[in-house]
Amino acid sequence: MTPTEPPPRIPFVDLAAQSRRLRPEIDRRIAGVLDHGRYVMGPEVDELEAELGRWGGGVSAVAVSSGSDALLIALLALGVGGGGNRRDAVFVPTFTFTATAEVVLLAGAVPVFVDVREEDFLIDLESLDREYEAVLAAGVATPKAVIPVDLFGLPVAEEPLAEWAAARKLDVISDAAQSFGGQRDGRPVGSLAPITTTSFYPAKPLGCYGDGGAVLCLEPATAEVVRSVREHGQSADRYDIVRLGVNGRLDSLQAAVLLAKLTVFEQELAARRAVAAGYGERLRAVGSSAATPWRVSVPECGAGPGSSVESSWAQYTLRVDDAAGRPSAGTRDALRAHLDAAGIPTAVYYPRPMHLQPAYESYGRGAGSLPVGESLADRVVSLPMHPYLDQGALDRICERIANA
């Protein structure tokens, strides 16, 4: 590099570094599939399910075609939907990826949007309770399930939510698309709810080379129903269709890639935690610095006394306010431009909450109804985050944020 050349662009997610590290094992695994030729439901899928079950703390895992299909399959397996005069209501946080809301409608139920908490982006139990009472009062749909989302990798505190849901006889499906590998109080994601769904989209903490996902069930009997829904609602006899299902299978090749990646997953999670800790140390100081036109708030895990929580750090997401600490969408965008000019990519997850999306707005109450999610959509920015982000890149990103 000559002195005038700009430094190289930092990758937002560095799948190339990971594939360089794992290439021999991935090649070996893929060759194994080509050798036996069982491309659908081959032995790698069984092996992967056993591994995922272990990672989930001894649960029953069913590998499926994507994180979105995992959610749809879970809803169908629980019988959530509608038909005739019946319409189930499913509570979902408004600040999430579209799949969480979309599957509710695909299953024939109605989504009810719930606000999230400013400090950790997770579902707000008070808002959930208000929305639940409103659904009961309206009397149009029957509350049936809630889908908390472990946004950016942080597992939702399961106990208060489980108690709230049990008292109202609602099912809980944990959308852990972003949090596989995380844990609460030593209990891994997968064991924190009766049904947990996850995604193996390539950029996820555990990603394959295409689409993939899994449903993890505490009860083996639930997993059996999930398996049936995954394959067209078949019973043990494949031409005996006992319920409505989908084609939601995971390819053997994707399972092979995931088995190779699982060999380093623990190390990669530790590396993500180290990156997050590095960001936290450096950026907390910028929080209230007078030298920048922005104030940034770093994500906190927020475990209470006597409890512990570990994010899988799918994303490292800041809240950005103006120099006086006031919300300001323009400030977030100015910070993004400032980083981009220095070869530092950022992303906004998510720029619009679900209750304001054209496809779903008729199920919500419009702008101003879920103020925290609306405000976060204007103020969040995610920084490069992956296990191969080195100290040099971390310093470069943090120094750029600290020096406007």
Ligand X SMILES: Cc1ncc(COP(=O)(O)O)c(C=O)c1O
Minimum Å gap between C-beta 40 and ligand X is 18
- Cα 11 from Cα 202, distance rounded (Å): 14
Residue 344 burial (CB < 10 Å; 0-12/13-18/19+)? buried
Is position 178 an interface residue for ligand X (rule: CB under 6 A)?
Answer: yes
Name the residue nearer to ligand X (CB basis): 42 or 248. Answer: 248
Q: Which stretch binds ligand X (CB under 6 A): 14-22, 170-178, 357-365, 373-381?
A: 170-178
Which helix (H) or strand (E) covers residue 18, if one does? Answer: helix 15-36
Q: Decide the pairing of beta strands 110-114 and 86-93.
A: parallel
Q: How far, CA to CA in Å, does 46 sit from each of 13, 43, 49, 50, 77?
A: 29, 5, 5, 6, 20
Residue 255 burial (CB < 10 Å; 0-12/13-18/19+)? buried
Minimum Å gap between C-beta 52 and ligand X is 15
Query: Judged by CB under 6 A, which of 10, 156, 177, 225 binds ligand X?
Result: 177
Q: Which stretch binds ligand X (CB under 6 A): 64-72, 136-144, 154-162, 361-369?
A: 64-72
Is position 73 an interface residue for ligand X (rule: CB under 6 A)?
Answer: no
Name the residue nearer to ligand X (CB basis): 175 or 310. Answer: 175
Binding mask 127-166 toward ligand X (x if CB under 6 A, else -) reads ----------------------x-----------------
Residue 166 sits at φ, ψ, to 5 deg, of: -65, -40
Name the residue nearer to ligand X (CB basis): 71 or 393. Answer: 71
Is position 96 an interface residue for ligand X (rule: CB under 6 A)?
Answer: yes
- Cα 223 from Cα 218, distance rounded (Å): 8
Q: Which stretch binds ligand X (CB under 6 A): 94-102, 105-113, 165-173, 340-348?
A: 94-102
Query: Residue 350: is the preceding peptide bond cis (ω within 30°)?
Result: yes
Is position 209 an interface residue for ligand X (rule: CB under 6 A)?
Answer: no
Query: Judged by CB under 6 A, which of 67, 81, 155, 205 binds ligand X?
Result: 67
Count the residues of the shown chain that bind ligand X, applying the rule CB under 6 A: 15
Residue 348, both tokens: 């906004």
Burial string for 163-196 (b: 16+ CB within 10 Å, else e) reads ebbeeeebbbbbbbbbbbbbbbeeebbbbbbbbb
Name the residue nearer to ligand X (CB basis): 56 or 148. Answer: 148
Which helix (H) or strand (E) covers residue 309, if one does? Answer: strand 309-310
Residue 402, both tokens: 């600290």
Minimum Å gap between C-beta 357 and ligand X is 14
Residue 87, both tokens: 């319409």
Minimum Å gap between C-beta 90 and ligand X is 14
Query: Judged by CB under 6 A, which of 26, 44, 51, 66 binds ligand X?
Result: 66
Name the residue nearer to ligand X (CB basis): 294 or 349. Answer: 349
Query: Judged by CB under 6 A, which of 115, 211, 321, 374 binds ligand X?
Result: 211
Minimum Å gap between C-beta 156 and ligand X is 12
Is position 122 an interface residue for ligand X (rule: CB under 6 A)?
Answer: no
Neighbour tally for 231: CB within 10 Å: 16
- Which residue matches tokens 């969408």? 329
- Cα 204 from Cα 385, distance rounded (Å): 11
Q: Which stretch binds ligand X (CB under 6 A): 1-9, 19-27, 61-69, 79-87?
A: 61-69
Is position 97 an interface residue for ligand X (rule: CB under 6 A)?
Answer: yes
Query: Residues interacting with ligand X, by CB under 6 A?
Result: 66-68, 96-97, 99-100, 149, 175, 177-178, 199, 201, 211, 213
